[in-house]
Amino acid sequence: MRKVDSGLKGMKVLIVDDTPANINVLRQTIQETLDLNISVALNGAVALEIASKFRPNIILLDVMMPVMDGFETCQKLKDDETIKDVPVIFMTAKTEKKDVARGFEVGAADYITKPFESKEVIARIQNLLVSQLLIEKLKSTNSELADFAYVVSHDLKAPLRAIKNLSDWIVEDLGDGLKTEIAENISDLKNRVERMENLIQGVLYYSRAGRGELNLAPCNLNKVLDEVLDMVVVPENFSIEIEPEMPALSADRTKLIQIFTNLISNAIKHNNKTHGIVKITTRKYEKDANFIEIFIEDDGPGIPQEQSEKVFKMFQTLEARDDKENTGVGLTIVKKLVESQNGEISILYPEGGVGTTFRMLWPKKSG
């Protein structure tokens, strides 16, 4: 079998098996075809230690090993923030469906049963390594685009400020001689400049949202919401009802505050009732005990069901900007912040319901 030039040269593979003969067969199979850097471990404990230092691009893991089997090893690998994204392929003689299912449950990317075909193993390793390269390239491209958006948006703010200042000077210079039509045009100009500034600020916020390290820590939702309400201007005719003793969760507190601030501010801004209400409640997620559901419900005009996806897209608004000033960026940022912590956000449409209900599915342990 001749070596394949697949652009994977120098990528790292960690082989974990308690049988040296199996390791030698796998090593030989890989070395005949792919030019990879190979490291080995004879048990799960050593594999964890090597993986944290060697930083492999892929791990080939046996299941039946003493002390710590492959399933437990994989679970511990996935619990390590520094290597949790490294794909794991189980290489094992355990062929029962329950074993295959358990392998994927603990985080495996693939499952190959012994005895294996060399070509199949190489193909599967190649596919996962190529996927790794593409993901890294996509991350790099996204980062470059975010940096570009930040720089361009930042640079656009200066000329907009200059336009605003010039319009103010024109008004001052003309004084009482300013004609009504000209005054109206200048007012429209300043309003458009302000709108542009808000849009640019939205782009800046969006380019920064979800970037950088997450400062995860246990968060008391009630205390977080107390802090949010200290910052949000709540009209006297508006009431915010918060469930007492909500469950704690793990989150980046600053980002969580941003999320709630945006959702509550939106509910207040778009409410058309004389006395508006926002209710915030939680519920255990029945399908997965590792998640909780958070509901932000208002009694406003609601969002048409056919527009439920549109509201999360950049610069999309449900009302004309001349009718209600809105950048169409806020909910896009909220979605990005929620998803950066492995959460989900959607809009619920209960039968006979009124207003809007945002539902967040939030992991008790984020990251």
320 band by pLDDT with thresholds 50, 70 and 90: very low
Give the pLDDT confidence score for residue 190 in this predicted structure: 82
Confidence grade of residue 297 (pLDDT, cut at 50, 70, 90)? very high
Q: Which of 85, 59, 61 is nearest to 72 (CA)?
A: 61
Whole-number Å distance between alpha carbons of 78 and 147: 30
Single pTM value for the model: 0.53
Mean pLDDT (the chain) is: 84
pLDDT tens per residue across span 212-238 = 667 788 889 999 999 999 888 888 888
Asked if pLDDT for residue 98 goes beyond 70, the answer is yes
Mean pLDDT of 118-131: 91
pLDDT tens, position by position, 245-290: 898 888 888 889 888 988 998 888 888 888 899 999 999 998 888 8
Q: Which residue has the higher pLDDT, 242 or 210?
A: 242
Region 281-304: mean pLDDT is 88
DSSP letter, residue 238: E
Question: What per-residue confidence (pLDDT) applies to 319?
Answer: 52
User: Comparing 195 with 131, which gets the higher pLDDT?
Assistant: 131
pLDDT over 60 at 327, yes or no:
no
Give the mean pLDDT of 146-173. 77
Residue 303 has pLDDT above 50, yes or no: yes
Residue 198's pLDDT is: 65
pLDDT confidence of residue 206: 62
Strand 357-363 with 344-348, pairing = antiparallel
Q: Which residues of 283-311 are buried (b: 16+ CB within 10 A; e: fewer)?
A: eeeeeeeebbbbebbbbbebbeeeeeeeb
Q: Report d(CA 185, CA 179) in Å as an integer.
A: 10
Q: 1 vs 211, which has greater pLDDT? A: 211
pLDDT at 211: 61
Percentage of residues in the chain having pLDDT higher than 70: 84
With H, G, I as helix, E, B as strand and everything else as coil, classify residue 199: helix
Weakest-pLDDT range from 42-46, 56-60, 296-300? 296-300
